[in-house]
Structure 1
């Protein structure tokens, strides 16, 4: 289903589906960071609202392809989970003002060096890109599975009710994809989430307290937590985080380019990186978060077959509206974890299938390619399932490898470089008059 004749209601519905797909991740980061830093309820409410607003603006920046920035693909941006632990560490040691000083510096760093990062695309042949996208999908699956069971810390984790809800939503999405066509099929995830939430409400598993207590209007405020401070340690840490975000987003860009049959050139990546740098800088100015391209929405693009950027523009506008009207934003928070898990697990699986499709272009007769895939997938999935794997490393190193996506991605890039360099060094000019035994 391509863009051309998508009407207003259809566009809104498809955009809303993208918002619901990434909503849990978008609001989870401010909730984790805010509570870890002991923010008040009022400050926490601001953090969630400004995060949604900035997610929307960041999404529009990427969709608006122009001479200077914007990838022009159907991508949705959200707050990066990679930044959670570093933000808490910086806030605890240096104060909240240092968090936002480091985010502003990190965003400017990406902006200034976007052209240099664009030249590194040569380090991403199919064996690397396919591995990275597969790792992204694999690293997301455990979150989806935990949500199916009720979510971390749930008192009824793994209960039959939670499992029936989650598998019911999954079954409905599959049924709609099997028997429906066109717009209804494209909305299968949204229909599944709404139906699952209605059933959960009848079972008494939906709490409307947050909706009742939320305010009707919340305007953004520059430097809400005070003027930023610029400390060397936090700035260097956030620069590393931003580099990690660039690596992760590169994999997502490549996956979407394959799905949308849109070949990306070096200048496209540069514009994409600049848009993310702008989004991160904006996050620092309005006391929000570093932002990156969300992989879960890639799965939705592939599942819905709607490849137009107009849909993510609609999603960006919805996110801005939610950020300005917390009362409406709170409605999305009532979706029970099992319902969300049933919907997201199929989308995360679609990301994995995209990666496998990309690996189809790899020459598997080359043992070195097999080793790159084997090691990157193993370490990426291992670091995701066993997050304490690198707990004994120094803080600076732990930030780099604490995320399974980054661990696996760096492994794929470095191993590919190692084998490529070795192949070149072993290439010896052959004299046509001599035979080689």
Structure 2
């Protein structure tokens, strides 16, 4: 189905199912952040349960901030927000060396910074022509492919059972089922291919004894998020600077996501749209600091779902946002989603991340592929993928610089922007 055609109106039930599909697509990636940060900072099981629940609640709030357009906030695109993995290392370092109070203070400062520079950052729109945004979106998809394969193998490359044949079968069979449904499925079945693949893979995994219920048994039925639950934020310049640098990398990725969704939904973005999008992320980060969770940014997985499902409407994402809020208030129900095997989610991610990369290639196909643009694409994608595959290449640099330069998306984006400026200057000089 060509998603540029007029899409049919969906019923409440269908929008709800599509909302669940968006939720399942982002859930594991979002839960990963509190698990990594909480484990590094020595959180107890009770603290970890609370952290995950409140994080899910805040994902729903942050998503609503982006969906609903107001004079100050909301890009108004079908985008889902979650805790970005780019923040994990900075949060772990700040929490270990300065303590939780300063970690949450740095999150608030980063959020305020994002809101302050939103107008300026939106004016950089002219530095993101199709050759740059196409390269950026291609990188978003392709740099995440290794994450999908890691999940297919079981999630932890250092584990002895990583790459267990059962996990490989579950992961690749999930991906295969999603492909089969997209080829032979029709109508609503085709639009929910990812959700069907995840559920079917989970059922098979349950039959093989790969689904645990401990997280469900240990979770409580109801929980209300409380401000300053772990600690009252304190502020310190160096930890704040580290978080600001991480926030800049997420703003670059969000720019690519905004442009990808605008392309899919046939919408032209202007500076005010981008500014509202950045302000929403900054406000979400401030709320994250107040409620002792995380900063929040766009999730690329959900871009692929908009493309694969063919549903350009924001309604399913609204449903997903409200579902996230409900799950955050009811940890027992939210724990069900954590029971999905990592390998099954990895199979779904393989299709979704590949689709994001393919969307970038589709955008690049519209670019005039002259020598200059070919070099921009080659260098940007080459550097981005290179840093992603070999992050230890820059281990001799200070940790602050590594936070930026180990991010393939940031390196590739900077390369594309700078080369585009140089080539444009050269053309003006010749003229």
Taking structure 2 as the reference length, the TM-score comes to 0.96
Residues 211-267 of structure 1, C-alpha deviation per residue, up to 9 Å, x if partnerless?
A: 111111121110112211110111111111111111110000001111111111111
Q: Conserved in 2, the CA contact under 8 Å of 1:211 and 1:331?
A: yes
Displacement after TM superposition at 1:302 (Å)? 0.4
The answer for the alignment partner of 2:143 in structure 1 is 139
Alignment of 1:103 with 2:111, yes or no, is: no
Closer, same or farther: CA 3–49 of 1 in aligned 2, 3 Å: farther
Displacement after TM superposition at 1:427 (Å)? 2.9
Alignment of 1:121 with 2:125, yes or no, is: yes
SS in structure 1 at match of 2:297: strand
From 340, 347, 350, the equivalent of 1:345 is 350
The answer for the alignment partner of 1:55 in structure 2 is 59
Displacement after TM superposition at 1:162 (Å)? 1.9
Alignment of 1:69 with 2:64, yes or no, is: no
- Inter-partner Cα distance in structure 2 for 1:387 and 1:327: 38
Displacement after TM superposition at 1:4 (Å)? 5.9
Residues 390-419 of structure 1, C-alpha deviation per residue, up to 9 Å, x if partnerless?
A: 211112211111222112112211222222
Alignment of 1:231 with 2:236, yes or no, is: yes
Q: Conserved in 2, the CA contact under 8 Å of 1:280 and 1:291?
A: yes
Alignment of 1:242 with 2:247, yes or no, is: yes
Structure 2: runs of 5+ lacking an equivalent? none
SS in structure 1 at match of 2:76: coil
Alignment of 1:84 with 2:67, yes or no, is: no
The answer for the alignment partner of 1:291 in structure 2 is 296
From 304, 319, 327, the equivalent of 1:322 is 327
Q: Give the greater-gyration-radius structure (CA).
A: 1
- Inter-partner Cα distance in structure 1 for 2:267 and 2:366: 17
Q: Conserved in 2, the CA contact under 8 Å of 1:216 and 1:327?
A: yes
Query: What are the equivalent positions in structure 2 for 1:195-274 lying under 5 Å apart?
Result: 195-274=200-279
Q: Conserved in 2, the CA contact under 8 Å of 1:300 and 1:347?
A: yes
Displacement after TM superposition at 1:37 (Å)? 0.8
The answer for the alignment partner of 1:192 in structure 2 is 197
- Inter-partner Cα distance in structure 1 for 2:10 and 2:368: 40
The answer for the alignment partner of 1:403 in structure 2 is 407
- Inter-partner Cα distance in structure 1 for 2:7 and 2:101: 43
Structure 1: runs of 5+ lacking an equivalent? 429-437
The answer for the alignment partner of 2:36 in structure 1 is 32
Closer, same or farther: CA 3–44 of 1 in aligned 2, 3 Å: farther
Q: Conserved in 2, the CA contact under 8 Å of 1:3 and 1:310?
A: no
The answer for the alignment partner of 2:425 in structure 1 is 421
Alignment of 1:9 with 2:9, yes or no, is: no
Residues 317-370 of structure 1, C-alpha deviation per residue, up to 9 Å, x if partnerless?
A: 1111111111111111111112111111101111011000111122212x2211
Taking structure 1 as the reference length, the TM-score comes to 0.95
- Inter-partner Cα distance in structure 1 for 2:425 and 2:96: 43
Displacement after TM superposition at 1:78 (Å)? 0.6
SS in structure 1 at match of 2:144: helix
Residues 135-185 of structure 1, C-alpha deviation per residue, up to 9 Å, x if partnerless?
A: 000111111112122222444322332222122211211121122222111
The answer for the alignment partner of 1:380 in structure 2 is 384
Query: What are the equivalent positions in structure 2 for 1:156-167 lying under 5 Å apart?
Result: 156-167=161-172
The answer for the alignment partner of 1:305 in structure 2 is 310
- Inter-partner Cα distance in structure 2 for 1:157 and 1:126: 40
